[in-house]
Amino acid sequence: MSEALLPDPVSVTVRAPAKINVYLGVGKVRDDGFHPLETVYQAVSLYDDVTVTAAEEWAVTLLADGDHVDGSAVPDDDTNIVVRAGKALAAHHGIERAAEIEIRKTIPVAGGMAGGSADAAATLVALDRLWNLDTSDDDLLALAADLGSDVPFALVGGTATGTGRGEVVTPVDDAGTWWWVVVFSDEGLSTPSVYGAYDLLEGGDHDYRVRPAMLDTLRHPEDNPDGLPMFLYNDLEDAAFYLRPDLQTTAEAALECGAATTLLSGSGPTMLAMATDADHAREVAGRLAGRGYTRTAVAHGPVAGAHVVAYG
């Protein structure tokens, strides 16, 4: 049957990945309050699934998957970023529509893994299909950038550099499969407070550009199999450790449990322990559990950006 004869879907489910920043360089705060960034994003295998269904009014339902997801911090009204995404898409096309949006959440809330951004990207793709809009990639990326700095990357996925506020995304060839133990934190850590501490402690007056050798290592891991851990870097780590000394203790525990290296995820408080392969990751997670760090997940990257997984 040709595509033109297919009926419009009643519902669409889109899966969008969490991100980590394998490199995060932060410059001096700009007059508009934003910090210029140079980052290398990687999409990893922790996902939120967003299902949209045609409705008269906007409505949001959250299903929390796993005890590391605190759904109470996620609004279920029009302030949820998924509703903002839906309204922005409708306004872009000059149409008046609404939808019910169900978020099945595995990405920790306020964990520095851009879960809200993943949901926004998933909603843009899902509603574009539900409403049969055929929005161009460039327009989707522009709508995404208006919603938040990390939203364009959640559309693109894989591994990519991010510049500007992080919203200018350029894919990077990444020939590796990198393994991570994601160590969740009991409490969230607000992104503005981490940037505030960063301004006080460091200020950003330094060369924060990503090293070309790091991108070469991603493109050709066979030339330098041990290379990536050397380049992992996050300018916000000292600020997050200053606000939350327990995160430094987590990093030390992960190293004692055999991790190749550790890294703060974005603005935290999630910590990442790098492993050499899937078995090593499970071993490190097992040892961490023995030390009381039971809220962990094993994830790998890079994985695809927001993509349709089901039509209803």
Q: Which residues bind ligand ATP (CB under 6 A)?
A: 73-75, 80-82, 103, 109-117, 119, 150, 191, 266-267
Contact 15, 303 (CB under 8 A): no
Q: Which is nearer to ligand ATP, 79 or 177 (CB)?
A: 79
What gap in Å lies between CA 35 and CA 297, rounded to an integer? 30
- Report in angstroms how near the CB of residue 301 gets to ligand ATP at its nearest: 15
Q: Which is nearer to ligand ATP, 109 or 215 (CB)?
A: 109
28 is catalytic: no
174 is catalytic: no
| Residue 114 token pair | 């851009």
- Report in angstroms how near the CB of residue 85 gets to ligand ATP at its nearest: 9
Cα–Cα nearest to 240, from 111, 89, 148: 111
Residue nearest to ligand ATP (CB): 116
List the Cα angle 160/69/90 in 5-degree steps. 60
Q: Which is nearer to ligand ATP, 44 or 257 (CB)?
A: 44
Q: Which is nearer to ligand ATP, 47 or 217 (CB)?
A: 47
- Report in angstroms how near the CB of residue 3 gets to ligand ATP at its nearest: 31
| Residue 303 token pair | 């994985």
Q: Of 48, 150, 174, 235, which residue is the catalytic one?
A: 150
Strands 178-183 and 233-234: unpaired
| List of residues 6+ apart from 252 with CB closer than 8 A | none
List the Cα angle 40/46/51 in 5-degree steps. 115
- Report in angstroms how near the CB of residue 163 gets to ligand ATP at its nearest: 16
Q: Identify the bridge partners of residue 60 per DSSP, sorted by sequence position.
A: 101
What gap in Å lies between CA 15 and CA 29, rounded to an integer? 33
Q: Of 19, 105, 119, 174, which residue is the catalytic one?
A: 19
DSSP state at residue 295: -
- Report in angstroms how near the CB of residue 243 gets to ligand ATP at its nearest: 14
Q: Which is nearer to ligand ATP, 71 or 286 (CB)?
A: 71
Positions marked active-site: 19, 150
